[in-house]
Structure formats: C-alpha cells, structure tokens
Structure 1
C-alpha cells in the first residue's frame, strides 16, 4: 500500500501537521497537481497524496484501508497528527477509516471534505437503478446506499475537527446542499459567503475561496470558520494562485477529470458490495 502514497517532502521535523490528500475517480496528481499540491507546498505545508490502483471505482471499503495505512505511517514518521483532505468520495474513504479503526481519530487533527456525498447523490442512484450495472463506488455513493447508512449510523468520532465544503452548483453531487451535509460537522456552502460564485463539482478543486477555507481549518483549532474569511475574496481572483498560474493546464486537468468520471467506468457490478461485517450493527 505504501507504493500508493507519495509525499512532497520528508515528514520528520515538521512544524505543521502534514496533509493527506485523497482523490476520487482519478490519480492524486490528476486531482491535485494543478492546485492543492503546488499551492500547499508554496505555503509551507507538507502533503502526501494517495493514488488507488482502481482510481476509486472499486469498493470504497477496500479503498479506506489505504487511508488507514497512510494515516498511521504519516503520524509515525512525522510525530504529529495528520490533516485529511478529500474531494468527492475521497473524503468518504477518510471518514470510513476514522469510523471503523479506533486508533485513528487520535492521529488526525482535521477532516476537510470538498463536494462530498455524505447524504448520497441522486444522480448515481438514478443511473444505477436504470442501467443496473455500475462501478462499485457508484452504488455506494448513491442516495440510500447501505455503505452511507453504516458510515453515518453513529455520531462523528471524537478528536478531529470536521468541515464539509460544498457548492450550490454541483452537477454531480445532488441535491445541494442536502447531499453534502455531514451531521456534526461545520457545513459551508460557497455561495453563502459569495452569492452566485460560479464554482461547480470539478472547479471546486481550483477555487480560491475553497482553498482559503481549507487553510483556515488547517491553521486554527476547530473547523473552518467563514467569519474569518475576508469578503474581498468574492471580488478577487476566482482561482487559487497555483491554479491561476497553471492557466490552460489547470483547465485541461479539470476537463480531464470530468471526462474520466463520466466515460471511464469499466469496472461495473450488478449491485452494491456487501457491507463488511465490522460495519454492521
């Protein structure tokens, strides 16, 4: 599993908690290479990023085991707690790890989710119920899945701070804001800070307001606080500096990510994977 993890630098001697980035339906560099990886590095934050062998199309219960290994290894190497950041179902992997591996909450300082279907997404439910064959993870993120019921059956594990950031214009995780609401977390919709902000499911990975909220969560005890974000962000650059610098490259990255999600789903099964015995009851 260690081969799935790559880090921006050594973890020893850090003065800030390292951040574990978990993607969805893509490799780590595809999701974060034009934005969070260079931006966090420029801001002095060491990151490690996961790339799963099935690119997130397989059983999310198996995917979570990679997060378990990564969190344990990063905490041991750094001597610090680890901050978790995930996009879409990448964040579900981290929460599943926190939920069902009792040693992990004490090793994690922050949990931040971007455009994540904690309440399930109606789009996946409609697709899978019509075609009757979907990738395993599509079934699991669909509204009403057994996976999500097990994940949210109890209050959030004590220890980390929890933040869920969503956009009202998410075309993949629907309906918003209900789909991304995480009970017990600080739930923030971008348009509650900047009305009309034109950010959707994929561009949230480049959005500057989202990045400022992430950095706020990383830099303060507790979850992100919108009150600490200057309203000047609403009239400033739409994208974080690294993504703005990447320009066309960032746009191509977002388009490529979206294309992969929509058309590259060959690992289809006829029903949702069985819930692991440790998560039942």
Structure 2
C-alpha cells in the first residue's frame, strides 16, 4: 500500500510505535500458517481430547503484529509435549494486511476470541479453557472475560508481558499526541494500537471497577527489561486470585525483553506451565531454561 508523502510524514510516529509493539518473531518472512503443519505437531488439532491430568484446553492469543503461528513456535510445542491440547487463533485482522494481526479494535477482537473459545470447547467437550496471551494477547482476553461472558468459560488467564494498563512506549505515546492529526491517524488506521495507549478510552472502560472478575485465576509474567510495555509495572493486576511475577525474581540472569518473554524464554514458559497446573508446579529457576 502506497501512502502520499504528506500522510506518511503525519503518521511516522505511528509507524515507529507499531514497530515497537510488534510481537512477530519472523517479521521478515511470511507466516507459515499452514493448518497441516500445526496439526502434525499436535497443535490446533481439533481431534485432541484433554486428559485427566490436563482437563482444560489451552488457547494461545498472539500479540500486536503477531499471528496464530509465528508467535507460538516456542510455547505451543512446549505445552503439547507436556500433554495439553493447544489451540491458537488469528484476530484483529485489517483488510489488505496479511500475516500481521492484532490491529483491529480490541472490542471486535474480544468477540473473535469468544467465538474461538466456543469452538474449542465444543470440539474438546471441556467445560472451561485456559488462556495464555502475549502482549496485547494477555490483555485483550480481559475484555472477553468482563463483557462477553468469558468468565464462565475460562479458568485461568496467563499474560506474558501484557499491557493491562496500557503503554507509554517510553513516552512515545505522549509524543504521538503532540503531532496534529497523528492520534487520529492511529485511531483510523490501526485502532488496535490506539486502544493500547496508556489513558485510552478502551483501557479506562476495561479497568473501571477493578482489574479482575470473579471465578478466574490470573497470572502476569513480566520482565524488567521490557521496552515496549512501559513502565513494566503497568502490566501487573490487582485483585483476588492474582499472581504477579517478575521474571528476574525467578532468575536474575534472565535478560529477556518484550518479544523474547513470549517467543523463546523457557523460564517464562515454565512459569506459565506452573500457572496452568499449580498442583504439579515445580520451582522456576534459571535451570528451567533447560527443562
């Protein structure tokens, strides 16, 4: 898509922010969203039946500019190998933008998640699912839980570097607001980004009256080296049944930033697995990188 120069200059801050908010590990190559490849690995296999040990299917929710494959090339096989039925969806698609999703209005994305969870529950026969999300994917499900009946269908929500209270992008979101027309350009062309800016109307509604809903367990796993969701403490939730985890408290040597915590960090993966099955949890340490 070609943009006129004046319009390109006007939304330059938006483009810079978009690069930072990306969660695609392979932005330089097309997503390998082939259904057969995933089902052969036991991932997105709708014939999978949850075991007695892991009775709830796990739905993985990608981040901004992510997709149902690239965001989960690390975590999906990790959970499949541990006996989970694992599924992932694409959401927040924009017309004419392939592979890079999570850009549409988050309200609409939450409804896509609602439909997908229903599909997973119907296929597996489970009464509830667990959700693990990265970045926007750790926050967006809260819209589903709070406003679209998800609390009755979700047992646990695990967020890897979720932007639960928005991001300042190290002050970049405030900079965007200083450029005439730039904030309007974000709203018009990438509403999913606008919704994630600290102080947005969407986040005000989402967090009004409390961060959590009854009946759901929440775990947030954050890294102090996050340069996308800033400050990193804005990721944490308050309320009953909440566990906020700083990765460096588990392994001081872990230097994962925003992308790595969701894409490749097996220490974060180990802690996410603990959150999904606390009865069988084992301590997460630096050695968990080898587990």
TM-score of Structure 1 vs Structure 2, range by shorter chain: 0.7 to 0.9
**Which residue number in structure 2 is paired with residue 264 of structure 1?**
none
TM-score when scaled to structure 1? 0.74
Residues 12, 201 of structure 1: alpha-carbon distance in 2 compared, 3 angstrom cutoff: closer
Q: Does 1:40 align with 2:79?
A: yes
Query: How far 1:237 moved relative to its partner?
Result: 6.5
Q: Indicate the SS of the match to 1:174.
A: coil
2:176 aligns with: 128
For residue 143 of structure 2, what is the aligned residue in structure 1? 96
Q: Select 1:113's aligned residue among 131, 148, 159.
A: 159
SS of the residue corresponding to residue 258 of structure 2 reads coil
Match of 2:9 in 1: none
- Give the aligned partner of residue 60 of structure 1: 106
CA contact (8 A) 2:138 2:163 kept: no
**Normalising by structure 2, what TM-score?**
0.72
Alignment check: 8 A CA contact 1:165 1:187 kept: yes
What value does the CA root-mean-square deviation take over the aligned residues? 2.4
Counterpart for residue 255 of structure 1: none
Structure 1 segments unaligned to the other structure (5+ residues): 242-281
Equivalence map 1:1-281=2 (5 Å): 8-11=44-47, 13-15=49-51, 16=54, 17-24=56-63, 25-33=65-73, 35-52=74-91, 53-54=93-94, 55-80=101-126, 81-102=128-149, 104-123=150-169, 125-131=173-179, 132=182, 133-134=185-186, 135-155=190-210, 156-177=212-233, 179-184=234-239, 185-205=242-262, 206-220=264-278, 228-230=282-284, 233-234=285-286, 236=287, 238=289
Higher CA-based Rg: 2
The count of aligned residue pairs is 228
Deviation at 1:47, TM superposition (A): 0.9
Larger RCO of the pair (alpha carbons < 8 Å, separation 6+):
1
Residues 1:11 and 1:150: Cα distance change in structure 2 (over 3 Å): farther
Equivalent residues of 1:128, 1:138 under 8 A apart? no
Q: Please list the CA deviations of residues 5-56 of structure 1 after superposition, one character each: whole Å capped at 9, or x if unmatched.
A: 98532356322211111111111111112x0122112222111101123301
